[in-house]
Amino acid sequence: MSSDLVDIFLLSLVAMFNPTLLAAVTIMMLIPNPKRLMLGYLLGAYTTSITCGCVIVFVLGGSSSETSSAKHTISPAEDIIVGLLSLALAWVLRTGRDQPFQERRGAKKEAKLAAKRAAGKPTESLPLRMLGKGDPKVTFLVGAVLSFPGASFLAAMDHIHKLDAGTAASVLLILYFCIMQQIILELPLLGYVFSPDSTKARVERFKAWMARRGRTVATIGAGVIGLWLVISGVIALV
């Protein structure tokens, strides 16, 4: 199996764990007609991510042989560097060395929230307040805005371009990644269609599981991705 395909798969798993998307889904589930709101958000997210993916892969990927050659020369070193950074992140998460930073950050955030509450200002972010309006058109816009490419998305699109699998296969890979990164929204949406009564309880259980195990999942994910990138980079350089 191509190393690029494996990288795309691993990056799609990373993209699945999106705290902002989870918060948005939670808010939409508390509003009447959540199916319409979630569908609006999903269509907005698909519009942005699929469009950006196609532009990155087919337009910004580079066409000259010199550029392509340079990319293939630099790519293994980049993989090793990113892999080492991922392994370092896994080590930090595993040893808890980020806890002092997280505690300071949490204290600053709580102080800001307390100041906003004292001043009578809203404490939620603008996108989450917009979701609370309960309008599918608004959720479409919020989904489109919150789905602009992140680091894992850009890395995956670069691997899809380097794979050079042809137009049809590349489009399918883009669609696969865009679907995977919205799975936290897609699963409850399907649940509301086929089993609306139990879906809300399942999402609450998933949130509780993420609160307990999210750090472990992030540690394992960063470690696996880092190890794979380092090994594939070294093999490509040899």
Q: What is the pTM of this model?
A: 0.62
- Between CA 43 and CA 144 the distance in angstroms is 8
Contacts with 35 (C-beta within 8 Å, 6 or more apart), sequence order: 189, 192, 193
Q: What's the rounded mean pLDDT across residues 177-192?
A: 90
Q: Which of 62-76, 155-169, 200-214 reaches the highest mean pLDDT?
A: 155-169
Residue 196 has pLDDT above 50, yes or no: yes
- Between CA 154 and CA 56 the distance in angstroms is 8
Domain count, the chain: 1
Residue 46's pLDDT band, with cuts at 50, 70 and 90, is very high
- Predicted local confidence at residue 51, as pLDDT: 95
* Both tokens assigned to 149: 């490419």
Residue 69's pLDDT band, with cuts at 50, 70 and 90, is very low
Residue 122's pLDDT band, with cuts at 50, 70 and 90, is low
- Predicted local confidence at residue 130, as pLDDT: 67
Residue 117 has pLDDT above 60, yes or no: yes
Q: What's the rounded mean pLDDT across residues 110-135?
A: 68
3-state secondary structure of 165: coil
3-state secondary structure of 144: helix
Q: What percent of the chain has pLDDT over 70?
A: 82
Identify the domain containing residue 41 by its residue range: 3-237
Q: Write the CA distances from 3 to 55, 77, 118, integer angstroms.
A: 23, 15, 53
Residue 150 has pLDDT above 50, yes or no: yes
Residue 55 has pLDDT above 80, yes or no: yes
- Between CA 188 and CA 160 the distance in angstroms is 28
